[in-house]
Amino acid sequence: MSLNPQLRDWKGKTVWLVGASTGIGRATASALHAAGAHVVVSARQAGLLNEFVATHPGSHALALDVMDGPALQAAVAAIGSIDLCVYCAGYYRPMGATSFDLAEARRHLDINYIGALNLLDALLPLLLTSGQGHLSLVSSVAGYRGLPKALAYGPAKAALTHLAEALYLDLHPRGVGVSVIHPGFVTTPMTAQNDFKMPAEISPEQAAKAMLAGWAAGEFEIHFPKRFTRLMKLLRLLGDGAYFKLAGKANR
């Protein structure tokens, strides 16, 4: 069942990807450009954004930091009408209780969650006034349940997922689409830090393809690859004792 308007024809549509310098964000920007969308990419690294623009004619770059509210406000004003906004800014460092670092934990929260709130502050008036458009937040299966080495990353992504659910309840009746993305392991600079074999690992291009398919189907939750994310969903149904025993084995 479609929970959102189905986004299939991208020609003439304006899409803004926040956090598009590398990884999933960049690959998705490229896929949307190939589908005919007018693509605007944002991130802190202006050089990488300019490289994208140079190889994707007609796209535009707006370098900014998601912690800079005025910059986000200015970007919204500069872009004007926005048919799809994707928040794919992310930050990850492995962390457990024995290596807890408050500054690092706050950085995870800032980039993975507070930055999305800053975006909302800039974007919501436009979406509510126009009564159209779509907001998509890139979370992670790490937000489903507590995982080893995700003491900082998992809670921030769980908050982002919860935010998307609450936004859907408020914005769907007003004609605005909302979706949340739950990737499994995707080959990116962030996951390159992992010192373990990542099950069902996919490329950023495969992730982008799955995201476009989810938007085309009008899904609220877009998760991939299914062979892995369905297993993660099953783990959410386990009782605490069984889950902690299983997850604890993976932490050894």
Pick from 105, 142, 168: which is nearest to 236 by CA?
142
Q: Verify whether residue 153 is a known catalytic residue.
A: yes
Q: Is residue 4 part of a domain?
A: no
- Inter-residue contact 149 to 101 (CB < 8 Å): no
pTM: 0.94
Q: Write the CATH number for 158.
A: 3.40.50.720
Residue 215 domain flag? yes
Within-domain flag for 184: yes
Q: Is 117 inside a domain boundary?
A: yes
Q: Which of 91, 92, 144, 153 is catalytic?
A: 153
* Count of structural domains, the chain: 1
Pairing of strands 14-18, 38-42: parallel
What is the residue type of 230?
A: R
Per-residue pLDDT of the chain in tens (252 residues, 90 and over written 9)? 799 999 999 999 999 999 999 999 999 999 999 999 999 999 999 999 999 999 999 999 999 999 999 999 999 999 999 999 999 999 999 999 999 999 999 999 999 999 999 999 999 999 999 999 999 999 999 999 998 889 999 999 999 999 999 999 999 999 999 999 999 977 767 666 666 576 678 999 999 999 999 999 999 999 999 999 999 999 999 999 999 998 887 665
Does residue 61 lie in a domain region? yes
Q: What Å distances lie between residue 230 and 4, 113, 141, 205, 221, CA to CA?
A: 21, 24, 10, 20, 12
What pLDDT shows up at residue 190?
Answer: 66
Q: Which of 117, 108, 218 is nearest to 163 (CA)?
A: 117
Within a domain: residue 43? yes
Contact 219, 178 (CB under 8 A): no
**Residue 105 maps to a domain:** yes
User: Domain range spanning residue 155?
Assistant: 14-250
Q: Would 6 be classed as within a structural domain? A: no
pLDDT score, position 198? 61
Give CA–CA dist 58/39, Å, rounded: 8
